[in-house]
Structure 1
Amino acid sequence: MSSVASSPGQRPVVVRFPALGDTVLLTTLLKALSLRHGQPVDLLASGPWVRPLLRGNPHVGDIHLISSRRAPYWLTPSQWSAVRWLRQREGAPIYDCERDPHARALLARAVPDERRYLRAWDHDPGPQLHWVEWWLQIANLSPPFLSEAGIAPPPVEAPALTELHLQPADLDEARQWLAARGLAGQPFVLIQPGHKKTHKRGRLATQQHAKHWPASHWAAVAGGIAAALPQARVLVCGTRQEQGLVQEIVDAAAEPRVLNIAGDLPIPRLMALASLAHSMVSVDTGPAHVAAAMDCPLVVLFSAFGATRWKPRAPHADVIAVGAQDDAQMRLVDLPPEPVLAAWRSLKPRQIAAR
């Protein structure tokens, strides 16, 4: 690997304030930049999910988190420390992957020299290019100051896949968690019905969202999976705020092998369960990207934001998109359960290595 900088202060810096799924997609950029520059990549980000998702990733160096980029600077100590952190990276190439004015203002406080930046959104991907394909394109670009100095490393080729690194202790913990619920050694399928907007503005707003799929439809899928796999359990996932939604689905399924595990899924456990699961059925949301990165066979339901740009990428496992392929005005409520179940039945069985 070609190396541009030798000290940690000059490692490439990526600036991205990602949601859960965005963090998983970002691993493509982080790996490609690390390979190209010959050293780990530092990350300025936000969100409590970033560190658990990127823990153990050899392509990631320092991670600095801020609590908010929109709050006033003088009231936000995490922004002050971010400015100091960036200033310590004198000479580092900065890959700015945000396009909102709040992020731009924060960066300008720390590093006013525009030649240090590669602005990703100056190279707009358009509506058809998948995120990971775009991230690979961005990784092979250089800020002006590197090109002017003639020290920009040559482009690299990297697989257009996402990558998470499960820690052995987290896998052990997940197995203990399964055993405590009488699920040790039993096959299970994950269902992820909620997304980050679920119940954010109340029940009515949730039902009007393009990603909303009725509990009766999810129950039909859960029941169909349980019927097809008589020895398996169907674990319906969600956050603590989604427990009510998940319980509606479990009640509608009326099948004792369909279980509510909402609110009991810290990210390391979600990763571990996805690495062990038979498969997953999910709405288009962050946990689907986590499952794909853990090579879990997956069916994903797409509505307004289509699969062309957002379909999760798995190293080997099948990922089948049902619903909108391109950005459209589609609502999931118009999608019946039958094509979802048919897609799930067509998934190739996963190859689970001995752990």
Structure 2
Amino acid sequence: MQFVDSRSPATQRVLIVRFGALGDMVLLTPMIRRLHERFGVPVDIVSSGGWTRPLLDGQPGVGDIRIIGSRRRPYLLSPDQQRLVRWLRARGPTPTWFAHPHDVGRDLLRRGNVPDEFVCDFTNTIPGEHDADRWVRFADETPVALGNVYPPAQHTRSAHAFLQVTASMRSDLQPWLVRHGLESQSLIAIQAGNKRTMRSWKRRRVTNKKYWPETRWAQVIRAVRKDRPHSAIVLLGVPQEHELNQDIIREAGITNIHNVANDLPVPILVALLERTDSMISVDTGPAHVAAAVGCSVVTLFADADPQRYRPGGRNTFAIALQGKVEGQLNILGIDASRVIAAWRQLPKRARRYGAEQELTAGVG
């Protein structure tokens, strides 16, 4: 099925505009899938950030991906915005979903000659609704220009994020595993850092709501090592998080623990987490990647709503933890024993790598 409009080329594509962090773009995948199912054509995406293209390029239903830098920069000073507008004009007006919680960047559609009647604007959440479900609900809306040609699809089950791990991702992962001495081992991933943690040299600052102390990470890691003596523990992150990981490793004082924050491109991250048995993470993008490739994960939340942002969706293998300090939501209200207990409840994957024979399912 293809959308046909007399005012534009016969073969149409649909468009999503979403400027989001890594986790936001993972949670957008149910919407991409739903629009692809509704219209039967590739879904083009306008976004920002260096993670979007390597994350979504080649995913089912994804068409062209266009990336811009700062959306707040004046248009005349932004070559990225100008290139996007030229692309939109050449592409012609097509059904468009502006999936962003504010209007920054909305003017680019008008500059690109996409009429308002072709655009569905961001919808607010329903209390208790997960983002994955919200984006599917939003995908079921129809721009005014289409009239009643495409009524909303019947959404009857919970949505969940999904990332397809491509053959090229798996192929690229193999030499990476060899380089880090991980090719024959079962893996457990730790994501301690996030972009807030690394915005300043002072990790313990009050504004760093997602900071969880190195001593507690070390407690968790020692417990994981005791339960899984033959598994490699891998600390993930971006280069700015490398030093944080090193501090945690020194505090933990165990062997067979690996800091890969200096060498973790997004496609490797996706394939690595498919290969990983389980994960413990703060509320940040890699936790959503894990859930989207079927890796069970424990996630430590600060003041964000786990009902809305639980990794992957409402029904994935994810456990969300939240704590309070003096009656207020605070990640420091989560102690290490709760994290360890939650991790032990996760379903463990069958051991496909290495010679050790540990639990193949159930509780670790």
Q: Does the alignment pair 1:241 with 2:243?
A: no
In the TM superposition, what is the alpha-carbon distance from 1:272 to its structure 2 partner? 1.1
Judged with a 3 Å threshold, the aligned counterparts in structure 2 of structure 1 residues 154 and 3 are, in CA distance, closer, same or farther, namely: farther
SS in 2 for 1:199: helix
Q: Does the alignment pair 1:290 with 2:289?
A: yes
Judged with a 3 Å threshold, the aligned counterparts in structure 2 of structure 1 residues 323 and 58 are, in CA distance, closer, same or farther, namely: same
In the TM superposition, what is the alpha-carbon distance from 1:173 to its structure 2 partner? 2.3
Judged with a 3 Å threshold, the aligned counterparts in structure 2 of structure 1 residues 8 and 340 are, in CA distance, closer, same or farther, namely: farther
In the TM superposition, what is the alpha-carbon distance from 1:237 to its structure 2 partner? 1.1
The answer for unaligned runs of 5 or more in structure 2 is: 354-364
> 1:49 corresponds to which residue?
51
**TM-superposition CA deviations, 1:115-134 (whole Å, max 9, x none):** 111112xx311442110110
Judged with a 3 Å threshold, the aligned counterparts in structure 2 of structure 1 residues 124 and 57 are, in CA distance, closer, same or farther, namely: same
Asked if structure 1 preserves the Cα contact closer than 8 Å seen for 2:221 and 2:252, the reply is yes
> 1:200 corresponds to which residue?
199
In the TM superposition, what is the alpha-carbon distance from 1:5 to its structure 2 partner? 3.6
> 2:349 corresponds to which residue?
350
In the TM superposition, what is the alpha-carbon distance from 1:317 to its structure 2 partner? 5.7
> 1:94 corresponds to which residue?
96
1:60-75 matched pairs, under 5 angstroms: 60-75=62-77
Q: Does the alignment pair 1:152 with 2:154?
A: no
Asked if structure 2 preserves the Cα contact closer than 8 Å seen for 1:200 and 1:206, the reply is no
TM-score by length of 2: 0.89
In the TM superposition, what is the alpha-carbon distance from 1:99 to its structure 2 partner? 3.6
The answer for unaligned runs of 5 or more in structure 1 is: none
In 2, the alpha carbon distance for the partners of 1:218 and 1:5 equals 55
In 1, the alpha carbon distance for the partners of 2:95 and 2:295 equals 35
TM-score by length of 1: 0.91
> 1:262 corresponds to which residue?
261
SS in 2 for 1:194: coil
Judged with a 3 Å threshold, the aligned counterparts in structure 2 of structure 1 residues 8 and 21 are, in CA distance, closer, same or farther, namely: farther
> 2:128 corresponds to which residue?
128
Judged with a 3 Å threshold, the aligned counterparts in structure 2 of structure 1 residues 231 and 116 are, in CA distance, closer, same or farther, namely: same
In the TM superposition, what is the alpha-carbon distance from 1:324 to its structure 2 partner? 5.5
RMSD: 2.3
> 1:29 corresponds to which residue?
31
**TM-superposition CA deviations, 1:16-72 (whole Å, max 9, x none):** 111100010011111101101111111111111111111221211111111221111
Range 93-102 or range 50-59, more displaced: 93-102
Which of 100, 104, 108 is 2:106 aligned to? 104
Asked if structure 2 preserves the Cα contact closer than 8 Å seen for 1:95 and 1:118, the reply is yes
> 1:58 corresponds to which residue?
60
> 2:360 corresponds to which residue?
none
The structure where helix makes up a greater share of residues is 1
In the TM superposition, what is the alpha-carbon distance from 1:9 to its structure 2 partner? 6.2
Judged with a 3 Å threshold, the aligned counterparts in structure 2 of structure 1 residues 69 and 40 are, in CA distance, closer, same or farther, namely: same
Asked if structure 1 preserves the Cα contact closer than 8 Å seen for 2:57 and 2:65, the reply is no
In 1, the alpha carbon distance for the partners of 2:181 and 2:272 equals 15
Range 97-106 or range 239-248, more displaced: 97-106
How many residues matched? Answer: 347
